[in-house]
Amino acid sequence: MVITDLLSRNAALYGDEVSLVEISPAKVETAGLTWHEYDMNHIQPAVDFRREMTWREFDDQANRFANFLLSRNLGKGKKVAILMVNCLEWLPIYFGILKAGALAVPLNFRYTADEIKYCLQLSQSDALIFGEVFTQRIEAIKDGLPEIQLWLFLGENKPDFAEDYPQVTTSFSAEAPAVDLQPEDDAAIYFSSGTTGFPKAILHDHASLYSACVTEQKHHGQTRKDNFLCIPPLYHTGAKMHWFGSLISGGKAVLLCGVKPQWIMQAISDEKATIVWLLVPWAQDILDSIESGLIDLGEYHLDQLRLMHIGAQPVPPSLVKRWLRYFPNHDYDTNYGLSESIGPGCVHLGVGNIDKVGAIGKAGYHWQTKIVDENKNPVPQGAVGELAVKGPGVMKCYFNDVEATEAVLQDGWLFTGDMAKTDEDGFIYLVDRKKDVIISGGENIYPVQIEDFLRANEAVKDVAVIGIPDKRLGEIPAAIIEVKENYTLDKQHVDSFCQDLPRYKRPKRVIFAEVPRNPTGKIEKPKLREMYCGEGLIASQLNS
């Protein structure tokens, strides 16, 4: 079975049931109301902020788009890029591309014009569908992309060079196209997050996508009764592969366009969400809002919520313990994965292992793990080495990059670049990214350990630790600390708080500034190194 068969099955079995809901709270606020006021008074805002789609409508839209693409010779082997923010049309477009036999190429909606051009050329894309907010970026690069044979637009104020997506696809048949899809066929190209440099193009086949459905449902037990609140961007494997659990089970999902804590809680309450996947900053913001009084949990209906899970980055144990103080009645899980391993699921904590919070868990369903030294030999329990994973969702390759592929793929094992160790029960603990390790005076310092320690300070909203050059020690740890609103913090207090750390791990520099994160919640450490290492380190920003 290929993943598009699941959509066709759902349309046949559950055609009249709602598959997707899109909620855009910002539209309510443009009408001068809060979402809560709208809900309480049943006032219709100027622009409808809630749309929904049945499984049959979902499948019909995907089929129409597939048939349109085939009419333009964009079938097997062709690549169709998607540059859109989350919306109700996103997933039908994605599945239409797959049904045509083409490869879907989702793009990060925060890319600059040059980055968009780079990724389109790297993936050898043949077509692009984009939303209104990207028009200026596309206009800046389109003349340098003669290989793009089709520009499609979704939104208002269509530019002259593009065709209108709804207009050109409406007349095409809603019958499934006669395209023979096999599990080994190429299906999608995703891009690495770019936290270690320029993104790489990651090629997955249909078997890989389908395996993500099976793994996710096995881990979190989705049924048709579940309602998954999806907040992260759909261009990333994390959000979509968690939604795949809804696809395989025929369950409903809500796409929330916005990350304000009050919006998240209102969506859980109003839409009766049973599962929510959060990034660390969003969970942190919700807790801060509860503790500051901005959110009163008594105003929301939360009894149906059965699972909150987090992934995409190391999860501070202190954050999970805080969360469980306010939400003790639902399950929690930590997910670990990479775009190269079709997103989350190759390792997970498991909802029954709350006593192991701090670990990323054990090998996921149908996955294997090992931790190795620099010679690829397994290390003893408790020793730090590089985590490698093997399973049905490992990428085929980095597209058109043999050297990069060979550096991370060996005998089916994907070497993640993450440093980890296991405890006596076999649970895996992330120590840090291999490239983020700080070597100071010959000692390896793992920034995640210092970050987790500092996050226990009630004044710390977010923190990142990087190595900055030092003539004597080679590198020293520097902490970039984002302070919570209405709190104060200075270096003296940070130094005092860190007395329980070994001396060599204590931050030697403290910088009070915003911690930049990408849309999937990962700290953008290359950006921090550029800002604060060498000449970029501005003395006035140091409190030493």
User: pLDDT of 7-44, one tens digit each?
Assistant: 999 999 999 999 999 998 887 666 566 665 555 445 45
- DSSP secondary structure, 83-100, as one string: E--S-TTHHHHHHHHHHT
* pLDDT bucket at 357, cuts 50 / 70 / 90: confident
Residue range 479-508, pLDDT digits in tens: 999 999 889 999 999 999 998 887 878 899
Structural domains present in the chain = 3-309 (3.40.50.12780), 437-541 (3.30.300.30)
More confident residue, 116 or 521: 116
Is the pLDDT at 205 greater than 80? The verdict is yes
Span 392-409, mean pLDDT?
94
Question: pLDDT class for 98, splitting at 50, 70, 90?
Answer: very high
Give pairs for 43-50: CB < 8 Å, separation 24+: 49/23, 49/24, 49/25, 50/21, 50/22, 50/23, 50/24
Assigned token pair, 378? 């397994």
Asked if residue 116 lies in contact with residue 83, where contact means CB atoms within 8 angstroms, the answer is yes
460 to each of 187, 491, 540, how far by Cα in Å?
42, 12, 21
261-270 vs 280-292: helix crossing angle, rounded to 10: 90
Please state the rounded mean pLDDT for residues 271-280.
92
Read off the pLDDT of each residue in 62-91 and give the average, rounded to a whole number: 97
The Cα 368–Cα 353 span in angstroms is 19
Q: What is the mean pLDDT of residues 123-136?
A: 96
User: pLDDT tier at 315 (50, 70, 90 boundaries)?
Assistant: confident
Return mean pLDDT, the chain: 88
- Give the length of the chain: 544
pLDDT of res. 432: 66
Which residues 6+ apart lie within 8 Å of 132 measured at CB?
153, 154, 155, 156, 157
pLDDT at 27: 75
pLDDT score recorded for residue 527: 82
Task: Provide the pLDDT for residue 193.
Answer: 63
Task: Provide the 3-class DSSP secondary structure of residue 456.
Answer: coil
Which residues, including other chains, have CB under 8 Å from residue 43's CB and lie 6 or more apart?
31, 33, 37
* pLDDT number for residue 410: 94
Task: Report the candidate in 360, 348, 359, 369 with the shortest Cα–Cα distance to residue 415.
Answer: 369
| Amino acid found at 217 | Q
Predicted local distance difference test score (pLDDT) of residue 544: 35
pLDDT of residue 520: 62
